[in-house]
């Protein structure tokens, strides 16, 4: 992964959310290939801060890593970081994540995902960068039923506030790309999993419950499908995109505009996923095999805001970058289990 783009190494990259799951893995990959990384994270207590601190401790081993413990809603502080960093590229991954949590703490999503992203856009405006890559989510597809999900189709009906804030981010980025010429790429992640993952995600919850002899919750009775994407494949896609800033799409038709691109701004939206949908029960079966234990299953009704299936069409990302995810769920779940048992022990 890191060797594929050695010709663009030695860049200086700002990564927001560097203590988070994807952010940590991206920082490790950038540092491994010789880039300098300016990490920004507020290290909230949405989930165990000790896990975030452990990720940061590993990043701190590198001389090329500089860390700022800063709330992105503090626009002045963010601008100062961008000014001193003089970075050519920004990857904005910081966000209040989690679909279910948005039902309990909606205000956290506005502060982090809207106010925080506005600070990043304003900092890019004050201190121009070559490329802003920002995280969106497959959740923006919401009520869209056609599979696989394609960027050129609309996503006007999100089903949760989390998804709505990410949809808002996409529109905010387009506006700033148009008004201030900030080249921006929004990436829609699909069910990311792997070592150092978040404790609120299914694989972490299932593993912990099985090892502790507790039932695992399966919503919609387990009748769900997801495009499970291993974190290293996500990082590979981000690395490929970084040096490829968008321009204006010459094929854009004002009579039939493409929601994934723009004829008036250097802007685009791209899916990053495995490109394959898998039943949730297969995910559970792989985990049971890797742990050597059977799961006690608690079958529950469908959750508010949830969808039965996700599936990414990644053909546009492949066309642009050659992206070709290689990690199947047997390998990926196995690597997560190895990490979990090493980090937490068997009980």
Q: Is 251 left (phi over 0), alpha (psi -120 to 50) or beta?
A: alpha
> Do 44 and 55 touch, CB atoms closer than 8 A?
no
User: Nearest CA to 15 among 159, 154, 132?
Assistant: 132
User: Nearest CA to 17 among 84, 113, 137?
Assistant: 113
Residue 63 exposed, middle or buried by CB count within 10 Å (0-12, 13-18, 19+): exposed
Whether 267 is catalytic is no
d(CA 278, CA 285): 12
What CA dihedral angle connects 52, 8, 272 and 291, to 10 degrees? -50
Catalytic, out of 101, 141, 162, 267:
162
d(CA 4, CA 49): 33
Q: How far is residue 300 from each of residues 217, 244, 251, 335, measured CA to CA in Å?
A: 7, 44, 47, 28
User: Nearest CA to 223 among 309, 163, 316?
Assistant: 309
Active site residues: 162
């Amino acid at each position: 992964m890191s060797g594929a783009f050695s010709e663009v190494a030695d860049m200086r990259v700002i990564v927001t959310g560097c203590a988070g799951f994807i952010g940590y893995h991206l920082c490790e990959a950038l540092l491994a290939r010789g880039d300098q990384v300016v990490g920004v994270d507020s290290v909230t207590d949405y989930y165990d801060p000790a896990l975030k601190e452990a990720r940061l401790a590993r990043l701190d081993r590198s001389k090329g890593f500089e860390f700022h413990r800063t709330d992105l809603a503090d626009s002045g502080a963010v601008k100062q970081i961008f000014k001193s960093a003089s970075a050519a590229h920004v990857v904005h991954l910081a966000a209040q994540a989690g679909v279910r949590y948005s039902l309990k703490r909606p205000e956290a999503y506005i502060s982090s995902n809207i106010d925080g992203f506005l600070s990043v856009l304003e900092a890019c405006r004050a201190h121009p960068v070559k490329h802003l890559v920002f995280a969106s989510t497959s959740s923006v597809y919401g009520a869209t039923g056609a599979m696989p999900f394609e960027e050129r189709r609309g996503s006007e009906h999100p089903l949760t506030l989390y998804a709505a804030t990410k949809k808002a981010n996409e529109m905010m980025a387009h506006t700033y790309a148009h008004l201030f010429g900030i080249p921006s790429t929004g990436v829609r992640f699909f069910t990311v999993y792997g070592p150092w993952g978040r404790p609120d995600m299914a694989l972490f919850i299932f593993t912990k419950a099985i090892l502790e002899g507790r039932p695992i919750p399966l919503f919609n009775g387990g009748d769900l499908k997801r495009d499970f994407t291993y974190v290293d494949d996500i990082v590979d896609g981000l690395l490929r995109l970084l040096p490829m800033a968008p321009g204006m799409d010459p094929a854009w038709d004002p009579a039939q505009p493409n929601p994934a691109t723009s004829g008036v701004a250097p802007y685009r939206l791209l899916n990053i996923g495995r490109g394959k949908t898998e039943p949730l029960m297969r995910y559970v079966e792989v985990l049971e095999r890797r742990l050597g234990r059977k799961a006690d299953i608690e079958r529950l009704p469908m959750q508010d805001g949830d969808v039965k299936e996700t599936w990414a069409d990644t053909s546009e990302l492949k066309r642009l970058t050659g992206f070709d995810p290689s990690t199947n769920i047997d390998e990926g779940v196995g690597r997560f289990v190895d990490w979990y048992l090493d980090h937490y022990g068997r009980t």
